[in-house]
A = this chain, B = another copy of it.
Amino acid sequence: MTPDDEPGRNNAGKPVAIVCLSGGLDSCVTAALAAEEAELALLHVSYGQRTADRERLAFDRIADFYRVPADRRLVAHIDYLARIGGSSLTDRGIAVPDAPDSGPTDGPPSIPNTYVPFRNTHIISIAVSWAEVLPADRIYLGAVEEDSSGYPDCRRPYFDAAQRLVDLGTRPDTDVRLMTPLIDLSKAEIVRTGIRLGAPLHLSWSCYRNTDVACGECDSCRLRSRAFEQAGESDPALSPPDAR
Binding site for B on A (CB under 8 A): 74, 76-81, 83-86, 108, 111, 115-122, 124-126, 128-130, 132-133, 152-153, 155, 157-158, 161-162, 164-166, 168-172
Contacts and interface: CB of A to CB of B under 8 A. Distances in A.
Contacts of A76: 78, 80
Given A126-B80, A152-B171, A86 B121 contact: no
A interface, over-half SS: helix
B161 A111 contact: no
Most buried by B among A119, A124, A170: A170
Count copies of this chain in the complex: 2
A172 to B, nearest CB: 7
Contacts of A78: 76, 78
A69 to B, nearest CB: 16
Contact of A129 (B84, B126, B162): B84
A207 to B, nearest CB: 24
B83 A170 contact: no
A170 B83 CA distance: 18
Contact of A165 (B84, B133, B161): B161
Nearest to A169: B153
A81 B129 contact: yes
A62 to B, nearest CB: 20
Nearest to A160: B168
Nearest to A45: B80
Contact of A168 (B108, B155, B168): B155
